[in-house]
Amino acid sequence: MAKKKTLAADEVIQRRELGGYSDAEFDAEFARSYRSDAINVAIRVVTLVVVFWLLARAIRSHDLPPWLLLAPLAFEFIAIFWIGWVLSRFVVQCPAFTKSAGSFPLVLFWTIAIGAAATAAIQFNPGGHRDPMPVSESLRAGWRLIVATDLHWAMLAMLAALIGSTVPEVTRWKRERGVFVWTSIMTAGFRVAVIFLMGFAGIFIAVFLGDALFGYGELRYRNLTWAVYWFLLVAEVLTLVLAVAMHRDTVAKQVAGRKPNS
């Protein structure tokens, strides 16, 4: 009896902290919304192949600065912020999702912050060779380079994958209601965590082994670009593996929980 009371008290706390829903309801929605079957994993893998093939081709055929490799990732994060905000205000009526999507000032803040970081990277072109330009001219030059290297197609591929995965989630939620767990936000969170953890190893390598691995001058610049490329690729693969593993673990726990006690 005491154990049941404790569980009930825990659920009350969860619902108060999670916008009226329990951890179990969030797990159930994550299990329903995310897709870790072979077909959906293959679609995600194909998207990564397209994006990183375009990045590798751009590195080989152009004097690509390392910052440009971050353009598709930055674009996807901004798209997640804005699509999430629009969904939470006009499409999905779920207080918990509205809270996770953030307010308009918060979305605007992160858009400006990411945009300012991208502008600074284009303007100062770290590791690059050209002389400083006016900001407007630097932005135009950066966009011309994105188009010339076909990276705008990589951005469109990421946007198409984002929208393509969101539509069935919203459709299912409208049919079943309850809590809405947008898996794109969760995946973005996984990605940030993976990049953060990998960053420690990257800092160690850059500090202690940078000269030996990257070389000097032109060679150092090209090797740095490839190092950023492989860092992002490994982060994306680990994010996919982590998300699939967590989804399948959640599904397995739910199946085990529905089995009658022996």
User: pLDDT tier at 256 (50, 70, 90 boundaries)?
Assistant: confident
Nearest to 194 by CA among 128, 154, 246, 135: 246
- Measured distance CA(226)–CA(253) in Å, rounded: 40
What pLDDT is attached to residue 73?
A: 83
**Cβ-defined contacts of 115-122 (< 8 Å, 24+):** 115/78, 117/74, 118/67, 118/70, 118/71, 118/74, 118/142, 121/65, 121/67, 121/70, 122/67
What pLDDT is attached to residue 25?
A: 73
Residues 107 and 85 sit within 8 Å (Cβ to Cβ): yes
Residues 64 and 58 sit within 8 Å (Cβ to Cβ): yes
Instruction: Please state the rounded mean pLDDT for residues 190-207.
Output: 75
- Measured distance CA(35)–CA(91) in Å, rounded: 22
Residues 53 and 213 sit within 8 Å (Cβ to Cβ): no
User: pLDDT tier at 211 (50, 70, 90 boundaries)?
Assistant: low
The C-alpha R_g of the chain, in whole angstroms, comes to 22
Whether the per-residue pLDDT at 262 is higher than 50: the answer is no
- Measured distance CA(101)–CA(99) in Å, rounded: 6
Residue 3 in 3-state DSSP? helix
Could you tell me what percent of the chain has a pLDDT over 90? 11
User: pLDDT tier at 206 (50, 70, 90 boundaries)?
Assistant: low
DSSP string, 166-183: HHHHHHHHHHH-S----H
Whether the per-residue pLDDT at 217 is higher than 60: the answer is no
Instruction: Please state the rounded mean pLDDT for residues 121-126.
Output: 66
What pLDDT is attached to residue 83?
A: 93
What pLDDT is attached to residue 181?
A: 82
Residue 50 in 3-state DSSP? helix
Burial of 262 (0-12, 13-18, 19+ CB in 10 A): exposed
Nearest to 228 by CA among 247, 197, 202, 196: 202
What pLDDT is attached to residue 82?
A: 94
Which token pair is 12?
């009350």
Residue 199 in 3-state DSSP? helix
Mean pLDDT computed over every residue of the chain:
77
Residues 31-72 pLDDT 10s: 777 778 888 888 889 888 988 888 888 888 877 777 788 888
Could you tell me what percent of the chain has a pLDDT over 70? 75
Residue 102 in 3-state DSSP? coil
For the chain, what are the domain ranges? 38-165, 188-256
What pLDDT is attached to residue 237?
A: 92
Whether the per-residue pLDDT at 219 is higher than 50: the answer is no
Which residue type sits at 192?
V
Weakest mean pLDDT among 16-30, 140-154, 189-203, 219-233: 16-30
Weakest mean pLDDT among 27-41, 50-64, 147-161, 206-220: 206-220
Residues 220 and 65 sit within 8 Å (Cβ to Cβ): no
What pLDDT is attached to residue 79?
A: 92
What pLDDT is attached to residue 85?
A: 93
Which token pair is 20?
């009226």
CA 257 vs CA 82, 131, 234, 247: distances in Å:
37, 63, 34, 15
